[in-house]
A and B are shown apart, each in its own frame.
Chain A
Amino acid sequence: MSKGDLAIEVAGLQYAYHDGTKALRNFSLGVRAGESVCIAGPNGAGKSTLLLCLAGLLTGTGRIHVGARGFSDSRADAPNPAVFGLVFQDPDDQLFCPTVGEDVAFGPRNQHRSEEEVQKLVGESLAAVGLAGYQSRSGHHLSEGEKKRIAIAAVLACQPEIIALDEPWASLDGRAAHAVTGILEKFTGTKLVVTQDLYHAVLVCDRLVMMDEGSVVADGPIVDLLADSALLEEHGIGFGTGAPPTKGSQ
């Protein structure tokens, strides 16, 4: 897929939970290959539901096109780890193997790669998140920041075209958050970052899509939208006090 082609295209997506709560209402979005998009919005805006629909874990009505997968009318195709990688908010949901090495190797092994290639990918992915040599460590002995980075490495090892992250900076201290930001800056594929943390998002993303009540309420360059304090206020998101950082100010 060349840069400029649409990596993600969503048209008229609707999703309602079993209790009737409408999480996504006629949602439409286009993301070009190589683009870094931040999706922000208040709690309950439908951001995480959108990611699960894009990943193919939830099935709504409407049309979704993700990477190499073709248009589908509401039914998601089987998730393809080489196309769409999702990093969950809670790394404990994602790291289920006894050791870090096995967890990172899980995706590549399911892709039926040779063991030599698997080990190479594991080493490279762990190095990419600054945790080289962690193969034999147990997942439950890691700090929250390390778990988050391992969860990213586990997705990177599948070499996805698109990486999506649900609240990547949540519950992390400054150092760990800085490390995650660094990893995302280096990833050259398409990035979709769902977060409330615009302080870090502005360092990673060029575009901001603001959601509220399941729909897009604003879409544009992140720097421009962040300057519109009335818009941020109206939809319950913002930096709090202080000026937003800019790229390269870390």
Chain B
Amino acid sequence: MEHSFIDRYSSLQSPVHDLDARAKTIAAVSFCIVVVTTPPHQLLAFVIYAGFLVWIGALARIPLAYVLKRAALVLPFSAMVALGLPFFGGGPKTMILGLELSTRGLWVLAGAAMKSFLGAAMLILLMSTTHFSSLLAGLRGLHVPALFIDLLALTYRYLFVLIDETMRLKRAAVARGYRPRWLPQAVIIGRLIGSLFVRSYERAERVYGAMVLRGYTGLIPAAAPLRFHTTDGLVIAAFVPLIIAVRILAR
């Protein structure tokens, strides 16, 4: 079975794809930091940030709808964290749809939504313009702890295996007449999850065995080093000050 959920467009050719993974990672992380530290009421800054993303996406030929749809997946999570603030936050109140809401709480909620959405969109662009193995090599080049990189690599590789395994279990249940309509039938989902956990545990043991048999002693050895070109340096030198300038000036 084929999956292309994470880095579907990473094999395209574009000026963004050609950049070194370290340059793109530095730019993406800088962008996220700047976005997160921007006060929510600086709406113009958020519009400009969004403009940057649209421009990068167009340059890399990544469909806008693809980025928007995936970035929107983070919104329920940010909403979960900040949804109560308009109701329970202090400060001045405003009436919306007959509800008395905290103005400060509303700004925090809007800020959380905008920041998480823009951050996620940037990371999706990073993933869509960088092959995962190059991204890992880039992180290694940036001295991110090797154990963390190994965990990322294994997660990426086995995420697809787990999805397949989950689908097989689900199909096996459906093929034997399982139609989840009533709450008590949810017990089956618990059993499926339990079965998936046991299978994953057993697979982890086999994977570890396979690694040990090929000389694994604790860390996956590094791949061939990446090459950092002048263009990569120029991109960082231009992009990072630019977004900082937006953060400071666009009020």
Contact of B2 among A110, A119, A141 (CB under 8 A): A141
B-side binding surface: helix, strand, loop or mixed?
helix
CB distance from B105 to the nearest CB of A (A): 42
CB neighbours of B2 from chain A (8 A): 140-141
- CB-based contact A158/B214 at 8 Å: yes
Q: Please name all residues of chain A whose beta carbon is closer than 8 Å to the beta carbon of B136 when the two chains form the complex.
A: 98
Interface of chain B residues 157 through 190 with chain A (CB within 8 A): 157-158, 160-161
Interface residues of B in 1-47 (CB under 8 A from A): 2-4
Set of chain A residues within 8 Å of B52, measured between Cβ atoms? none
Q: Do A81 and B213 contact each other (CB < 8 Å), given the known contacts A98-B132, A141-B2?
A: yes
Interface residues on B, range: 20 to 34
Kindly identify which residue among B206, B207, B213, B217 contacts A85, using a CB–CB cutoff of 8 Å: B213
- Interface status of B227 (Cβ within 8 A of chain A): no
Q: Is A27 an interface residue (CB 8 A)?
A: no
**What separation, in Å, do the CA atoms of A96 and B158 have in the docked complex?**
7
**Contact between B210 and A88 (Cβ–Cβ < 8 Å)?**
yes
B157 engages A98 (CB within 8 Å): yes
A79 vs B213: C-alpha distance when bound (angstroms): 6
Binds A, one of B69-77, B86-94, B218-226, B234-242: B218-226
A140 touches B214 (CB 8 A): no
Q: Give the distance to chain B from A191, nearest Cβ to Cβ, in Å.
A: 16
Closest residue of chain B to A154, judged by CB? Answer: B214
Complex: chain B residue closest to A141, CB-CB = B2
Residue B195 at the chain A interface, CB threshold 8 Å: no
**Chain B: minimal CB distance from A123 (Å):** 13
Bound-complex Cα distance A41 to B133 (A):
41
Q: Are B217 and A110 in contact (CB under 8 A)?
A: yes
Distance in Å: Cβ of B10 to nearest Cβ of chain A: 10
- B68 sits at the interface (CB 8 A): no
* A94-B210, A97-B220 known, 18 other contacts, Cβ within 8 Å: A88-B206, A88-B210, A94-B207, A96-B154, A96-B211, A98-B132, A99-B133, A106-B220, A106-B221, A107-B214, A107-B215, A109-B221, A110-B217, A110-B221, A140-B157, A140-B160, A140-B161, A158-B215
Can you list 20 pairs linking A and B with CB atoms under 8 Å apart? A52-B209, A55-B213, A57-B209, A81-B213, A81-B214, A84-B213, A88-B209, A88-B210, A90-B206, A94-B210, A96-B211, A97-B133, A98-B131, A98-B133, A102-B133, A105-B223, A106-B221, A107-B215, A109-B222, A140-B160
Which residues of chain A have a CB within 8 Å of any CB of chain B?
52, 55-57, 79, 81, 84-86, 88, 90, 92-99, 102, 105-107, 109-111, 115, 119, 136, 138-141, 154-155, 158
Tell me the B residues contacting A by CB distance below 8 Å. 2-4, 131-133, 136, 153-154, 156-158, 160-161, 203, 206-207, 209-217, 220-224
